[in-house]
Amino acid sequence: MYSVMVVDDEPLFREYIQKKFNWKALDMSVVCEARHGIEALEQAKAHRPDIALVDINMPYMDGLALSEQLKLCYPDISIVLVTGHNEFEYARRAIRIGVKDYLLKPFDEEEFMVTLNKVRSFMKAQREERANSRDQFALLRESFLLKLISQDFDMKREDAEAAMVRLRIPIPQRHYRVAVTVIDHLRSMDDPAEASLWRYAVENMLQELVAVSGEHVLFHDAEGRTVSIIAFDDHEEGLAFDGQAFERLGRLVEHHFKFTVTTGLGRFSSDGMELRLSYRDALTAIQNKMTAGQGRVIWHERLGSNPSLFELFSVELQEMLIYSLRMKEGDAVEELLDQVFAYLGKTRAAVDTALTGLMGFVSIGLSFANESGIAIGDLFGPEFSPYRELERMSTIEQCQDWLKALFRRVLDAAYDSRPSKSLKLYEAAKQIIHDRYADSDLTVEAIAGRLYIDASYLRKIFKKEAGMPASDYLTYVRLQKAKELMIGSKLKLSDVAERVGYSDANYFSKRFKKHFGVTPSVYEQRKRR
């Protein structure tokens, strides 16, 4: 709803304006009034109205002077001047200084409603434009942050730092630490929308709890995990950071939401080009929650005196394994496990180090089983103890065979007992398209966000299940709905375009012709003969 200030030195006119017109129909409400310009400036400061109805001829400060002051202090305010015939030239001058429109006394209800509707339409468009601009900036910022933490980031330092400044990423000239926070068993939640809601709630709490002299930037990595860049203005403050905010987050989430979160904290650094290293540290800490414990804060540097104990295998290899499990690629899973054991044989790791590293992969397999709705006890028995079973192995080959068998069993159970997760996501994505095709902001990225998955992952599973890209399917649904509207209604083509998610009628016509071989107008004529 838009707020309105009425400024006029005549009490009867102010009362008339408030009571005569249907403000609710305009999606507006009068929040304040003033007798002259000086009082109006005070009211504007107190109420910050969206629209000001201003009479030109007033004592102390006339409407033109007030309009200049209002536009100076509040550039986004929309001003409508109310004027008599003899002040018409003043009104025209006011338009040039930024007044949105004017009403010429005496005016009737229709004139008033038309003028205010024009102002409302302008303000709505202005708000949408600003929102789109903010969204575009946010997308560019998050996209660059994802590049910064990727393993193959190779931008020159000066270019990277310039981009950070441009996108308001608080790393150059600052000290920082990266944290990664995950909701434990998040993927076992049946409803993606529910999972997204819980993540949003956790992130809101996190924003409130982390207070530093610099900035706290939140974004999502490619797997949807919550990444925090905690930037400190002061080096000593960064060194003294104790992570209590994340500890408190864990306690509050468990108390109020009845689930747990685990946070991994990466290395402290003063070099912006090391962001991905701190991020990788935080991921490594998260990967060790099976041995370090869920529902807690895990510091990378406190995992143990021997770094190889916890960093035996790359995070990339572990993430490739998770991805292959979700895509039902059993051969790829076995190839990755072969890489694991080839590396063990090459490095001749100590037994305790090797066992701890292998338990990380066991954790991945069991987490996937849990994500797939499979009870570990039902699958392996109530006495299942993977660490003890690995300890009993006398050769590395026995460990290799045992771990491969575990993953085969998990995969078989996951895809024999239920539709594949990718199929479920594909069906959910299709449903979103059919439900929301009229939304012009609906994109593959938006659909992926609603399903709490990465857009590239959605594109792959959609192509695999449907045999066509998700974006093509969205276009197909929109154009089929457009055909139905053209046959069954007398809507203008611009209205048809808007109802199927195209804000630009010309672009809609081009897509229609490309898809069906004729323009919408030609198609419409043929069907109505």
Kindly list the domain boundaries of the chain, sorted by start residue. Answer: 2-127, 150-303, 315-417, 421-527
For the four alpha carbons of 188, 190, 192 and 198, in that order, the dihedral sign comes to negative
CA separation for the pair 257, 251 (Å, rounded): 10
Superfamily of domain 421-527: Homeodomain-like (1.10.10.60)
Average pLDDT over residues 46-67: 90
Asked if residue 417 has pLDDT above 60, the reply is: no
154: phi then psi, degrees, rounded to nearest 5 = -135, 25
pLDDT digits (tens, 9 = 90+) for 322-361: 878 877 788 889 999 998 888 877 766 656 677 777 888 8
Q: How confident is the model at residue 166 (pLDDT cuts 50, 70, 90)?
A: confident
What pLDDT shows up at residue 43? Answer: 94
- pLDDT reported for residue 310: 40
3 vs 353, higher pLDDT: 3
Return the CATH architecture of domain 150-303.
Answer: 2-Layer Sandwich (3.30)
Whether pLDDT at 428 is above 80: yes
pLDDT in tens, 248-257: 999 999 988 8
Q: Residue 234 pLDDT > 80, yes or no?
A: yes
pLDDT in the model for residue 314: 66
3-state helix, strand, coil in the chain (%, to 5): 60, 10, 25
Which of the four pLDDT bands, split at 50, 70 and 90, describes residue 31?
A: very high
Residue 101 confidence class, pLDDT cut points 50, 70, 90: confident
Class of domain 2-127: alpha beta
pLDDT score of 421: 65
Q: What is the pLDDT of residue 46?
A: 93
pLDDT of residue 307: 42
Phi, psi of 3 (to 5 degrees): -95, 145
| pLDDT exceeds 60 at position 305 | no
Element (H, E) at 51: strand 51-55
> Mean pLDDT, to the nearest integer, of 258-267?
91
d(CA 357, CA 313): 7
Answer yes or no: is pLDDT of 227 > 80.
Answer: yes
Query: Considering the entire predicted model, what is its pTM?
Result: 0.47
